[in-house]
A = this chain, B = another copy of it.
Amino acid sequence: MTAGATRFADRLVDAIERTGTPACVGLDPVFDRIPGAARAGTHSEADAVEAFCLGIVEAVAGMVPAIKPQSACFERYGAAGLRALERTCAAARRAGLIVILDAKRGDIGISAEHYAAAASRLGADAITVNAYLGPSTVEPYLEAGLGVFILVRTSNADSNAVQSLDLTDGRSVAELMADLTVVIGEDHVGHNAYSDVGAVVAATKPDDAARLRRRMAHTLFLVPGYGAQGGSLETVRPLLDAQGRGVLVTASRSVIYPPAMEDWKAQVASAATRFADEVRPLWRRDS
């Protein structure tokens, strides 16, 4: 863990409780969809992406606990895109937001260590990780003090071609990843009883939800697929743990691209408030 910091799971839970909602805004900036006002005065697509993301950070800070930048959207601009990502992450940290880097990295040995160094350098609190190469793809991030969300069940329809298949031991491939998530996470549990090793479990696979939650009773779920992709309060509820908590719901397009382009930051702030209020019941308050 980074010096002086509490572990990721505790920082995230604290941020959720401070804002009162398990809402995470996905930053998936696509140049063509950026409002003209956010592009004004910028001199390249990477600059426009940066200005747009800094505006979103400003608009949503204090309303939601976390943001999730999509690494690909920045990497496509090479070095300039990386600088935009660095500055976006730095601004988010200064604004008190938890930063979950959606990079879906999955490598071993020294390469995994380098990816962990890259995420730490960006100031990410956690990273999404693909564990198809086994448990050793995950450990270097934990050693670097980062939280991890292992891809267990993703929101896209054709993920069924891999994740839904059944193993001879009775588990699906997704359930195998769920079990790896629990085993790897056991030694990384914080004072809130959640582990630094969370799981990505989509809101769009309701048939799998309850079974995956049973296997991962105390795991934090990062939940994509809400809103634009068809997930709803109804499809997220079966993902809650016994305490009526344990999820961090992400939405991107519905928040960052509000329909009206005028006064875009105010529009983003309203959309973020609506989203934050909507998912508020998905994290039960102490009382």
Chain A contact residues, CB within 8 Å of chain B: 28, 30, 70, 72-73, 75-83, 86, 102, 104-112, 114-115, 117-118, 121-122, 130-136, 151, 154, 156, 158-163, 165-169, 173, 176-177, 180
Task: List the B residue with the shortest CB-CB distance to A161.
Answer: B134
Interface residue SS majority, chain A? helix
Known contacts A72-B111, A118-B72, A159 near B130 by CB under 8 Å:
no
**CA distance in complex: A106, B163 (Å):** 14
Q: Which of A30, A78, A86, A173: most chain B Cβ within 10 A?
A: A78
A158, B137: Cα distance in complex, Å: 9
Residues of B within 8 A of A104 (CB): 105-107, 130, 133
Given known A72-B115, A80-B79, A165-B176, contact A158–B136 (CB-CB < 8 A): yes
Please report the C-alpha to C-alpha distance between residue A115 and residue B110 in the assembled complex, in whole angstroms: 22
Compute how far the CA of A44 lies from the CA of B114 in the bound complex, rounded to whole angstroms. 17
Distance (whole angstroms) from the CB of A139 to the closest CB of chain B: 10
> Shortest beta-carbon distance, A116 to chain B, in Å?
9
5 smallest CB-CB distances across A and B, nearest first, come from A72-B114, A134-B158, A79-B79, A75-B118, A76-B117
Output the nearest chain B residue to A111 by Cβ-Cβ distance. Answer: B72
Q: Kindly provide the distance from the CB of A151 to the nearest chain B CB, expressed in whole angstroms.
A: 6
Whether A111 pairs with B79 at a CB distance below 8 angstroms is: no
**With A82-B82, A118-B78 as given contacts, are A151 and B166 in contact (CB-CB < 8 Å)?**
no
Shortest distance between the CB of A137 and any CB in chain B (Å): 9
Provided the pairs A72-B118, A156-B133, A158-B136 are in contact, do residues A110 and B78 lie with their beta carbons within 8 angstroms? no
Question: In the bound complex, what is the Cα–Cα distance between A28 and B111 (angstroms)?
Answer: 8
Q: Give every chain B residue within 8 A of A151 (Cβ-Cβ).
A: 132-133
